[in-house]
Amino acid sequence: MDTELHRTMKTRNSARAVILIALAGVCILATSASDPVYQNTKQIVTLALLGDISLARGVQPEADSFSALAAQLNSADLALANLESPLDPQWTPSEQNPSTPAYNLCAPAERAELLKGWGLDLLSLANNHAFDCSPDGLTQTVAALGSQNLIGIRSSSIDGTMSSPYYRNVNGLSLAFLAFDDVTQPIDIEAAAAEVQTAKNQGALVVVSVHWGAEYQAGASPRQKEVAKALAKAGAVLIWGHHPHVLQPSE
């Protein structure tokens, strides 16, 4: 399967950057397991990729917070970001709860409406803040996003369980989205690669979200490179990383 990546980046400042990725694929029309038919239709899917988004710790997001990126987000078929703030319908300000850790990023569930208004479609929830609200916070976040027709991509290794990829057909191409958190604890690289391979075997272009690396490091760590190499070898056509809070080089 051929994949062409065309990258452009527009930035207002270091905290507001979006990368546009165009995926072009060869459509596989399988007539039988032993007799696949390949049709080079060159469909194009454009993904807008953002980094970490926090809606907590004093942040006061507005409806126009992403106005500088509107053109890029609206031009993409799908816009993705890593949501660092789980959403809780019972949220209370941290100052009313002195036991709340300083780096707790739990946010009110109604802020899902802002995410929709900003033009986002898919949110990765595989990160080290996934359970900041409560043990049930992830389920509540998925529900809050769903109320705005947004998709929350859960980690494929939370609590030691594996979840199915999120599949979506866009412009005639089948896409599979997987998410992993390598910050809270190291992922099982072999198991993650097997998930990618399984999705690829379904005839999908596999897009992988990975929360990894160290904050404010300009270059990828040996661990990041190890994980990326394994996932790419297994069939991932795009590996989208976040957590360092700075733009790192692409390969």
Minimum mean pLDDT range among 32-41, 62-71, 232-241: 32-41
CATH of residue 125's domain is 3.60.21
Please give the Cα distance from 152 to 82 (Å, whole number): 9
Please give the Cα distance from 123 to 106 (Å, whole number): 15
Q: Could you tell me which residue, 37 or 17, shows the higher pLDDT?
A: 17
Number of domains making up the chain: 1
Q: Is the pLDDT of residue 39 over 70?
A: no
pTM for this model (two decimals): 0.82
- As a whole number, mean pLDDT of residues 221-247 equals 94
Q: Is the pLDDT of residue 42 over 90?
A: no
Q: How confident is the model at residue 83 (pLDDT cuts 50, 70, 90)?
A: very high
The token pair at 175 is 């896409």
Please give the Cα distance from 245 to 207 (Å, whole number): 20
Distances (CA, A) of 58 to 61, 81, 93, 95, 104: 9, 20, 9, 10, 11
Q: Is the pLDDT of residue 236 over 70?
A: yes
Q: Report pLDDT for 186.
A: 93
Q: Report pLDDT for 37.
A: 40
pLDDT digits (tens, 9 = 90+) for 123-180: 999 999 998 888 877 889 999 999 999 999 987 655 444 456 899 999 999 999 999 9
Backbone φ and ψ of 81, nearest 5°: -150, 160
| Residue 114 domain flag | yes
| Residue 134 domain flag | yes
Q: Could you tell me which residue, 9 or 129, shows the higher pLDDT?
A: 129
Q: Quote the mean pLDDT of the chain.
A: 82
Instruction: Name the DSSP class of 165.
Output: P
pLDDT digits (tens, 9 = 90+) for 204-231: 999 999 999 988 888 899 999 999 999 9
| Residue 178 domain flag | yes
| Residue 175 domain flag | yes
| Residue 248 domain flag | no
Q: Report pLDDT for 94.
A: 61
Q: Report pLDDT for 117.
A: 94
| Residue 21 domain flag | yes
Q: Is the pLDDT of residue 76 over 50?
A: yes
Q: Could you tell me which residue, 30 or 167, shows the higher pLDDT?
A: 167
Q: Could you tell me which residue, 159 or 69, shows the higher pLDDT?
A: 69
| Residue 209 domain flag | yes
| Residue 249 domain flag | no
Residue ranges making up the domain that contains 18 = 7-58+65-94+106-242
